[in-house]
Amino acid sequence: MKSGLTIRSDNAAAVLASLKAIASKDVLVGIPEEKSERDDVPFGNAGIGYINENGSPAQNIPARPHLVPGVRSVDEQTLPHLRAAAQAAMSGNTAAAEMELNRAGALAANGVKRYMTITGFTPLADSTINARIARGRTGDKPLIDTGQYRRAITYVVRDKNADS
């Protein structure tokens, strides 16, 4: 007895390969180490980000979390792209899936930048403001002085457990 099912094309291998490729990817948002160089501090933008995210009691710097909350602030915009990446992978279209991961990453990085701009963080200490003035700066917004750190925030789509 026949089932009535007709297979027109067997796409299983492409679907499995695409699912495997996408499952092995991470979308990371932050400051890549190689783009972290600065002349004004002994460590780069990645170090500045870590200190600002977690604070430094030894340096009297309060935590000003902005990376994780910034990414979460755009969840409603990134989730459809992550969903589309999964659907593309289920269709065997690895290129489209990776394109959607890149779109989600770009939205998340921009979300962090926006979050840094609009959030009312713990105000800067008077000594920090005075140091900025001494360097010719006039702003008093935490996390944003020259804008170099904010501009360094980006995303990468890479293989899980990659060394860089």
Q: For 17-51, give the DSSP string.
A: HHHHHHHTEEEEEE--GGG---SSSSS-HHHHHHH
Residue 110 lies in a domain: yes
Residue 55 lies in a domain: no
Residue 151 lies in a domain: yes
Tell me if the pTM is above 0.85.
Answer: no
* Helix 94-118 / helix 12-23 crossing angle, nearest 10 deg: 30
Query: Torsion-angle region of residue 61: left (phi > 0), alpha (psi -120 to 50) or beta?
Result: beta
What are the structure tokens assigned to 132, written together?
A: 């900025």
Residue 164 lies in a domain: no
pLDDT of residue 37: 63
What is the overall mean pLDDT for the chain?
A: 86
Domain, as residue range, for 140: 65-159
How far is CA 126 from its chain centroid? Answer: 31
Residue 27 lies in a domain: no
| CB proximity list for 43: less than 8 A, separation 6 or greater | 36
Instruction: Give the pLDDT confidence of 67-101 residue by residue, as tens digits.
Output: 999 999 999 999 999 989 988 888 878 899 999 99
Cβ neighbourhood burial of 42 (10 Å; 0-12, 13-18, 19+): exposed
| Chain position carrying tokens 């390969």 | 17
Residue 89 lies in a domain: yes
How many domains would you assign to the chain? 1
Instruction: Give the pLDDT confidence of 49-67 residue by residue, as tens digits.
Output: 899 999 999 989 999 999 9
Alpha-carbon span 105 to 47, nearest angstrom: 21
